[in-house]
Structure 1
Amino acid sequence: MQGKDAFPGWHGTTIIGVKKGGKVVLAGDGQVSLGQTVIKGSARKVRRLTPSAAPGARDVVCGFAGSTADAFTLLERLEKKLEAASGQLARAAVELAKDWRMDKYLRNLEAMLIVTDGRDLFVLTGAGDVLEPEHGIAAVGSGGNYALAAARALMDSDLDAEAIARKAMAIAAEICVYTNGNITVETIDG
């Protein structure tokens, strides 16, 4: 099974983005699984991209679920798109999604991305989607729905974005066998 048809069966990770109080937090677990075996428990699936040299360009933080090599290929392409779009995340995301869907090589890449520049928060897929989630929360990966539900339940609390992301990831790690509690967190101001 290849390309976008493989998305529903992925077993891999949990990435969540939470936008609240003028901050966006991306958090991801560190587990890398091959079948039913944990290969690594401390992978970094959330990272800052090289900022665009364009005046006024903002830092971009990205989290990925799926094939690591495929995700790195997409992250490199996103960096190039950000440079070409003078650091405008929305424009770069749409251009990447178009290429991802149309290019024969790229459309077979099996990964999903959550990207943010602190203002915008998007989920990018190989189906050509650039989705801006409702309620300021985005989640992908095998534990994504657990983390999403937990974060939505916590959004009305007094917790800040980081505390919500951490609690949501802890809940996902308790439920999803492909998610661990070794969390990487990156925060970016809105």
Structure 2
Amino acid sequence: MSEFPGWHGTTIVAVRKGGEVVVAGDGQVSLGQTVIKGTARKVRRLQPGGAEIVAGFAGSTADAFTLLERLEAKLEATPGQLQRACVELAKDWRTDKYLQKLEAMLIVTDGAELYVVTGAGDVLEPEHDVTAIGSGGNYALAAARALIDQDLSAEDIARRAMAIAADICVYTNGSLTVERIGPR
């Protein structure tokens, strides 16, 4: 079996402040030490059954799209119940042999609730109204946590946190996709 270099990329940060949630993600996808694409769109607006959901993903793109499709199906089956849909997705992800092999993470919000969903069966709510995932996630998280008490909007915090992550993490760039969603 030959060894292929790992795909790296993605920093996603979510900030909840002032009645809105902003999810921002960079556009870089790397294979080993080579940038394959600089403008990937890893933050998406979903509208299952007319609901408004924003999701950002880190990890394998194909795996993330599979999870987004499954999440949309869960949201359609449980309208208006983001937490329940995320828990159901996490249960399936942990127990289904096919899904267990998926390598991705999600940040999901409806403007009122904010979750990180992982393949380990976790559905996590951030403690400090900030969360981040991906290769530069810890840098973006630290930056956003440091900025959250400043007189800045959620979007300004997310953009500044992503800029700091891009300055530190070689798998993160400054080509951002930013989606904003208000409270329900």
CA deviation after TM superposition for structure 1 residue 143, in Å = 0.3
Give the unaligned 5+ runs of structure 1.
1-8
Paired residue for 2:45, among 44, 48, 58? 48
User: What is the distance in 1 between the residues matched to 2:9 and 2:178?
Assistant: 18
CA deviation after TM superposition for structure 1 residue 77, in Å = 0.2
CA deviation after TM superposition for structure 1 residue 50, in Å = 2.5
The equivalent residue for 1:108 is: 101
8 Å CA contact 2:7–2:32 kept in 1: the answer is no
8 Å CA contact 1:59–1:117 kept in 2: the answer is yes
The equivalent residue for 1:15 is: 12
User: What is the distance in 2 between the residues matched to 1:126 and 1:138?
Assistant: 17
**Secondary structure of the equivalent of 1:82?**
helix
Query: Any residues of structure 2 matched to 1:40-189 within 5 Å, and which?
Result: 40-53=37-50, 58-189=51-182
The equivalent residue for 2:23 is: 26
8 Å CA contact 2:27–2:177 kept in 1: the answer is yes
Deviations 1:122-168 (A, max 9, x none): 00000000000111011000100000000000011000000000000
**Secondary structure of the equivalent of 2:48?**
coil
Amino acid at match of 1:127: A
User: What is the distance in 2 between the residues matched to 1:24 and 1:51?
Assistant: 19
8 Å CA contact 2:7–2:30 kept in 1: the answer is no
CA deviation after TM superposition for structure 1 residue 13, in Å = 1.2
Amino acid at match of 1:135: H
User: What is the distance in 1 between the residues matched to 2:22 and 2:167?
Assistant: 21
Amino acid at match of 2:88: E
Give the direction of change, closer, same or farther, for the CA distance of 1:142–1:10 in structure 2 (3 Å limit): farther
User: What is the distance in 2 between the residues matched to 1:46 and 1:52?
Assistant: 19
Amino acid at match of 2:24: A
8 Å CA contact 1:28–1:63 kept in 2: the answer is yes
Amino acid at match of 2:15: V
Give the unaligned 5+ runs of structure 2.
1-5
Q: TM-score, normalised by structure 2?
A: 0.94
Amino acid at match of 1:97: A
Deviations 1:71-102 (A, max 9, x none): 00000000000000013110100000000000
CA deviation after TM superposition for structure 1 residue 11, in Å = 3.2
